[in-house]
Amino acid sequence: MLKVDRACYCPSKQPYIDSPYSIGYNATISAPHMHAYALECLKDKLVDGARVLDVGSGSGYLTACLAHMVGPNGRVFGVEHIEELVKQSEKNIKRDCPELLESGRVKIVLADGRVGLKEYSPFDVIHVGATAEGLPQLLVDQLKEGGRMVIPVQKISDDQIFECVDKQGDTIRRTELLPVRYVPLTNAATQLGRK
């Protein structure tokens, strides 16, 4: 996280405060402690050459952090369904770490992240930056054997739990990590209509 300047991605006048901030379009950049927590959960899989999917890549901040962790042979695909956020994240990354886009290590794709990016799968790591109603099977299917996903999941009680999902063969191991509060994983029309 020290290689990526949060000020280039966060519109707040105090980008380093440990708080989430709106980035427009009913989207947020998560608090720094949540980014750090997610990266810590994924670090064993974020090795040189790893292939990563960042669902709801928003400002591009965590996408850039992930790209630094996978090294020059890795690839990180940010997926965002709001065109303006795709453009903004590319602008942010160009301002902070232009070599990530120029080298092809990072690619931001305009698409519905709920269905993943099958054409670029399988992924060693999937990070989901919005709360899903249950574990999305389409994303699990795009995890590589031995891969890991972190995702906030909505529970029946309306609580949200940050989960770590490990895939070994036909076995999916889900580990509940901590309670969180994220925006919902929805389609673009619902997100833009949310007040």
User: Active-site residue numbers?
Assistant: 30
Instruction: Give the span between the Cα atoms of 154 and 180, in whole angstroms.
Output: 10
CA atoms of 108 and 44, how far apart (whole Å): 24
Mapped onto helix, strand or coil, the DSSP state of residue 72 is coil
Closest CA to 129 of 107, 119, 114: 114
Residue type, 116: G
Pairwise CA distance, residues 169 & 26, whole Å: 37
User: What angle (nearest 5°) sits at the alpha carbon of residue 132, between those of residues 39 and 88?
Assistant: 60
Q: For 81-116, where are the E strands, in sequence order?
A: 106-110
Candidates 75, 184, 177, 180; CA nearest to 125 is 75
